[in-house]
Structure 1
Amino acid sequence: MDTKDFHERWPEMKELIKTAHPNVKEEDLQVEFGKEVELLEKLQMKLGKTKAEIYEWLSIMG
């Protein structure tokens, strides 16, 4: 998934994340163009997952 696809799908993916992980807040899921890596790092910390797990999870959702 490229950056454009990511941002197009992000609203839907964001809702899935919030449903699956109620401890993740809206502000944890804010992302700007060019700052996608920072978002993924934040999710890693918040969810206690590896980078590979986060990427795999997002690729399954998207």
Structure 2
Amino acid sequence: MNSDTAKGNWKQIKGEFKEKYGSITNDKTTEAEGAFDKLVGEIQEKYGKTREAIVEEVKTW
């Protein structure tokens, strides 16, 4: 497990929290940020890429 994989795992947890917190407070921006952080974390954990590389790749989708 490299450091990017470990960071991805942490980002998933943080993203889930932001998603739930945004839902509770009815803050759609926080909820959307949480969903995005969770997605980036899952990709980072699976492929071991850096966050910056993933964000650039997602922007091209």
Instruction: Specify if TM > 0.5.
Output: no
Identify which of structures 1 and 2 has the higher relative contact order when contacts are C-alpha pairs closer than 8 Å and 6+ apart.
2
Q: Shorter-chain TM-score: what band?
A: 0.3 to 0.5
**TM-score, normalised on structure 2?**
0.41
Asked which structure has the greater CA Rg, the reply is: 2
Please, what TM-score do these two structures have when normalized by structure 1? Answer: 0.40
